[in-house]
């Protein structure tokens, strides 16, 4: 198997070194820079498999770097994971406007970042057909990041979208709350199980009549009809 390369763009040296160490330990090759303009050059020249990009950079900031990557046909397909401390920016970051593939909120665990990296790499290596998921009246397009119930588009938050995508990818299987937490939030601690229930409740409300494909499996978790 060829070694995949991750470009790390972060001006805080400690964080960058920690991420570099984690990536190398997981068998990735690593490119590093503290500078947004250099990141663009490296992305064009070296074509990394994924980019971890800090939002707050001196000079050219993360948002500008991400937009520039999107505009350039040579780099537009490279998945970008944004590091952000600003919770309120998240829907913009992964939305159409900025176009990042995913994000991690600071402070983060390296495990969480690694899960996100692996997840975007898996997504980009999928053939397009496999990014279209469906059950009952629900259709989810993971590439275009849209969900429909029948002909109606349903607007979901990033977390709700990931949750639905996770359940659809495991259609027919019971997903425990711990598995869902691990896949969607990148961690699973006892006591956080209620978080899943809360988001499932919101997701069901938004899906309306389409929600009947999501079954509650008492004492365990959830399952989408296969």
Residues engaged in binding Ca ion (CB under 5 A): 11, 54, 56
Residue 86, C-beta contacts closer than 8 angstroms, at least 6 positions apart: 55
Report the residue number, 8 or 94, with the smaller CB distance to Ca ion: 8
Min. distance of Cβ 44 from Ca ion in angstroms? 22
Closest of 77, 83, 213, 74 to residue 150, by C-alpha: 213
Nearer to Ca ion, 11 or 112 (CB): 11
* Nearest-approach distance from CB 56 to Ca ion, in angstroms: 4
Minimum Å gap between C-beta 11 and Ca ion is: 5
Query: With respect to Ca ion, which residue has the nearer C-beta, 11 or 178?
Result: 11
Least distance between Ca ion and beta carbon 171 (Å): 39
Q: Which is nearer to Ca ion, 8 or 117 (CB)?
A: 8
Q: Hey, which residues does 82 pair with through a beta bridge? A: 53, 103
What is the distance between the alpha carbons of residues 87 and 12, in angstroms, rounded to a whole number?
Answer: 19
Pairing of strands 50-54, 5-9: parallel
Q: What is the number of other CB atoms lying within 10 angstroms of the CB of residue 65?
A: 27
Q: How far is the CB of 39 from Ca ion (least distance, A)?
A: 12
- Pairing assessment for the beta strands 50-54 and 102-105 based on DSSP bridges: unpaired
In this complex, which beta carbon is closest to Ca ion, that of residue 116 or of residue 139? 116
In a 3-state reduction of DSSP, which class is residue 145?
Answer: coil
- Give φ, ψ of 105 to 5 degrees: -90, 130
């Amino acid at each position: 198997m060829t070694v995949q390369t991750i470009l790390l763009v972060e001006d805080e040296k400690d964080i960058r070194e920690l991420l570099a160490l984690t990536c190398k330990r997981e068998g990735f090759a690593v490119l590093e820079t503290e500078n947004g303009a250099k990141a663009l050059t490296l992305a064009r020249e070296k074509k990394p498999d994924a980019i971890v990009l800090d939002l707050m950079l001196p000079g050219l900031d993360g948002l500008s770097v991400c937009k520039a990557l999107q505009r350039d046909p040579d780099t537009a397909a490279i998945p970008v994971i944004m590091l952000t401390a600003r919770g309120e920016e998240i829907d913009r970051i992964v939305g159409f406007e900025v176009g990042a593939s995913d994000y991690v909120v600071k402070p983060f665990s390296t495990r969480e970042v690694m899960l996100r990296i692996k997840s975007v790499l898996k997504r980009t290596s999928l053939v397009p057909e496999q990014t279209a998921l469906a059950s009952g009246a629900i259709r989810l397009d993971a590439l275009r990041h849209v969900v429909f119930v029948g002909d109606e588009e349903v607007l979901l938050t990033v977390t709700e979208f990931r949750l639905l995508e996770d359940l659809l990818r495991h259609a027919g299987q019971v997903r425990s709350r711990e598995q869902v937490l691990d896949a969607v939030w990148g961690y699973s601690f006892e006591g956080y199980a209620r978080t899943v229930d809360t988001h499932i409740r919101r997701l069901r409300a938004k899906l309306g009549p389409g929600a009947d494909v999501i079954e509650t499996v008492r004492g365990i978790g959830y399952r989408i009809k296969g």
